[in-house]
């Protein structure tokens, strides 16, 4: 596990991700507090979710085309710098008004649509081995997300208390600049996707294509690859089912904790903390032992186990509304959650060739964001008339169904024993 982390290029990427995500959590904690303090409106804070999700749905798939066109390392450096700059209007929120917060969030989310596919697509080119090391590397990326989730909110809470939104903005902006510097130090000859020559390149027809037409063609190629590949098509189904459930959970988690569990603010905080600790422990376990399991089987098994644990976790308060079992459950569920994250990222990287990887990741990200938004909307409406626990049963059951669906949709792939795209580079 730590052998992968000691790889210079991956180590720089991992450290950059950890620093920038700590900065993100500082903003995620500080900005909602400031918005609610200024407006006193839950609707105003809910608008933050909308400002973040809409660019993911609209731009996610298209952004992947540009990730496959450009040098990914340079693109990630540029985006980090632009993200730092995009935060600066928050300093003038008193002068410009609360709308600035939504504009900043929308701009940051739009830039992230380029950054995230670039990171996922670049990672395999920083490692010399195949699937096994990729599972470990992706689990390590999951680990730094959980580390950031533990450290970032504490810094954010202190920053907003001491220096308000200006301090929060400064910390996040500096984190992006440091991340940009670290990524700039990465040295690899494969930071740019190798685009295979199309059959019509050099022809009169190719020259006549407009920029928009080429964009449409390349976007369609990525979509066709997702729909034409058994594993990627199964991942698409997996994302649709599970992200709707995650949208439900994101909306209903607070009502479940405070209503079904009768937890106070401190108890809710403990639930979030143990969730992060569980994810950190899970990422370590998967990083240590995940290389012994094929990514597809890891995804199927982890999804089913995760769903079953969530079904127990979300329904037991109907019979025994005590906080302690939920805290234990949050730690335990972190193991299959980390396994799912590492497995699905590895499958995207190995089933798509380097030349098309950005488009594949972008398309799946867009589908996931749309599913999350749908789940949040459904939960918002049904949560007023349907008890929380039955709605959360949909989330847990959805992961079981998604795992079984992936197993069913990829049964021929497993029998054929196809080698992943990363081992048959174009």
Torsion, Cα of 36, 39, 45, 47 (10° steps): -160
Say yes or no: 51 and 124 in one domain: yes
CATH code for the domain of 156? 1.20.1250.20
Report pLDDT digits (tens) over 377-400: 887 778 778 888 888 898 899 999
Q: Decide if 210 is inside a domain.
A: no
Q: How many domains are contained in the chain?
A: 2
- Could you tell me if residue 137 is inside a domain? no
Tell me the Ramachandran region of residue 410: left when phi exceeds 0, alpha when psi lies from -120 to 50, beta otherwise: alpha
111 shares its domain with 247: no
295-304: pLDDT as tens digits: 999 999 999 9
Q: Could you say which DSSP state residue 281 is in?
A: H
* Token pair listed for 94: 């008193």
Domain that holds residue 95: 1-129+144-185
Q: Which ranges constitute the DSSP H helices of 191-333?
A: 204-208, 211-228, 230-255, 265-289, 295-315, 323-332
Give residue 417's region: left, alpha or beta (phi > 0; psi -120 to 50). left
Q: What is the pTM of this model?
A: 0.76
- 225 in the same domain as 153: no
Q: Residue 65 half-sphere exposure, CB side, CA atoms within 13 Å?
A: 16
DSSP letter string, 340-382: HHHHHHHHHHHHS-TTTHHHHHHHHHHHHHHHHHHHHHHHHHH
Residue 266 domain flag: yes
Q: Grade residue 138 by pLDDT with cuts at 50, 70 and 90.
A: confident
Tokens of 34: 């400031």
pLDDT at 174 over 80: yes
Calculate the alpha carbon distances from 340 to 125, 178, 208, 418 in Å.
22, 29, 44, 21
> Using 50, 70 and 90 to split pLDDT, how confident is the model at 307?
very high
Q: How far apart are alpha carbons 104 and 101 in whole angstroms?
A: 5
Residues 266 and 178 in one domain: no
**What are the φ/ψ torsions at residue 138 (nearest 5 degrees)?**
-70, -35
Q: Determine the Cα–Cα distance for residues 97 and 115; give it in Å rounded to an integer.
A: 28
Structure tokens at 39: 């407006």
Give the residue carrying structure tokens 């950059």: 16
pLDDT at 200 over 60: no
Q: Which tens digits make up the pLDDT trace of 222-241? A: 777 888 889 999 999 999 99
270/347 Cα distance (integer angstroms): 33
At residue 253, the pLDDT reads 81
Same domain, 246 and 369: yes
pLDDT of residue 409: 92
Q: How far apart are CA 330 and CA 312, in angstroms?
A: 11
- Stretch 103-123: mean pLDDT, rounded? 86
The C-alpha atoms of residue 176 and residue 172 are separated, in whole angstroms, by 6
Identify whether residues 234 and 118 lie together within a single domain.
no
- pLDDT, tens digit (0-9, with 9 covering 90-100), for 27-76: 877 777 667 666 665 556 566 667 777 777 777 667 777 888 888 899 99
In a domain, 320, yes or no: yes
More confident residue, 275 or 296: 296
Radius of gyration of the CA atoms of the chain, in A:
21
Q: What is the mean pLDDT of residues 189-193?
A: 55
For residue 213, tell me if it sits in a domain: no
Residue 201 lies in a domain: no
Return the higher-pLDDT residue of 313 and 29.
Answer: 313
pLDDT of residue 208: 47
Do 181 and 279 lie in one domain? The reply is no
Token couple for 14: 């991992």
Residue 226 lies in a domain: yes
Which of 199 and 194 is assigned the larger pLDDT? 194
Task: Examine the pLDDT at 209 and tell me if it is beyond 70.
Answer: no
pLDDT at residue number 255: 81
Residue 297 resides in a domain = yes
The answer to whether residues 77 and 184 touch, using CB atoms and an 8 Å cutoff, is yes
Residue 415, token pair as written in the block: 């029998």
Residue 77's φ and ψ, nearest 5 degrees, are: -65, -50
The Cα–Cα gap between 326 and 309 comes to 11
Say yes or no: 271 and 408 in one domain: yes
Residues 60 and 178 in one domain: yes
**126 and 10 Cβ atoms separated by less than 8 Å:** yes
User: At 71, is the secondary structure helix, strand, or coil?
Assistant: strand
My answer on whether 59 and 169 are in the same domain is yes
Same domain, 149 and 246: no
Residue 359 pLDDT: 81
In total, the chain counts a number of residues equal to 426
């Amino acid at each position: 596990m730590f052998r992968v982390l000691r790889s210079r290029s991956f180590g720089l990427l991992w450290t950059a991700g950890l620093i920038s995500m700590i900065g993100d959590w500082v903003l995620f904690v500080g900005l909602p507090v400031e918005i609610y303090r200024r407006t006193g409106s839950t609707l105003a804070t809910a608008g933050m979710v909308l400002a973040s999700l809409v660019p993911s749905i609209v731009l996610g798939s298209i952004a992947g085309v540009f990730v496959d066109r450009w040098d990914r390392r340079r693109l990630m450096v540029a985006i980090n710098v632009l993200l730092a700059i995009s935060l600066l209007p928050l300093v003038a929120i008193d002068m410009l008004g609360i709308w600035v917060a939504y504009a900043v969030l929308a701009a940051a989310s739009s830039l992230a649509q380029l950054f995230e596919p670039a990171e996922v697509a670049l990672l395999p080119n920083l490692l010399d081995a195949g699937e096994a090391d990729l599972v470990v590397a992706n689990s390590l990326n999951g680990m730094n997300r959980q580390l950031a989730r533990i450290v970032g909110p504490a810094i954010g809470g202190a920053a907003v208390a001491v220096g308000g939104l200006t301090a929060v903005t400064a910390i996040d902006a500096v984190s992006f600049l440091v991340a940009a510097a670290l990524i700039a130090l990465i040295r690899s000859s494969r930071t740019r996707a190798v685009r295979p020559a199309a059959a019509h390149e050099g022809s009169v027809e190719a020259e006549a294509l407009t920029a928009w037409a080429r964009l449409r063609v390349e976007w369609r190629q990525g979509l066709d690859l997702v729909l034409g590949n058994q594993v990627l098509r199964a991942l698409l189904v997996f994302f649709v089912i599970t992200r709707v459930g995650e949208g439900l959970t994101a909306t209903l988690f607070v009502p479940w904790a405070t209503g079904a569990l009768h937890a106070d603010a401190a108890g809710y905080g403990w639930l979030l903390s143990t969730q992060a600790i569980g994810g950190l422990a899970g990422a370590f376990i998967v990083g240590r032992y995940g290389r012994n399991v094929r990514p597809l089987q890891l995804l199927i098994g982890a999804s089913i186990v995760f769903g079953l644990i969530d079904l127990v976790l979300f329904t037991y308060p109907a019979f025994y509304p005590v906080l302690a079992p939920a805290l234990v459950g949050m730690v335990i569920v972190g193991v299959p959650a980390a396994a799912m994250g590492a497995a699905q990222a590895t499958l995207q990287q190995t089933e798509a060739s380097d030349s098309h990887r950005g488009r594949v990741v972008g398309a799946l990200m867009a589908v996931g964001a749309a599913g999350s938004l749908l789940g949040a909307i459904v939960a918002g409406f049904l949560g007023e008339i349907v008890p929380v626990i039955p709605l959360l049963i949909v989330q847990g059951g959805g992961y079981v169904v998604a795992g079984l669906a992936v197993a069913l949709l990829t049964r021929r792939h497993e029998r054929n024993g196809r080698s992943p795209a990363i081992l048959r580079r174009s």
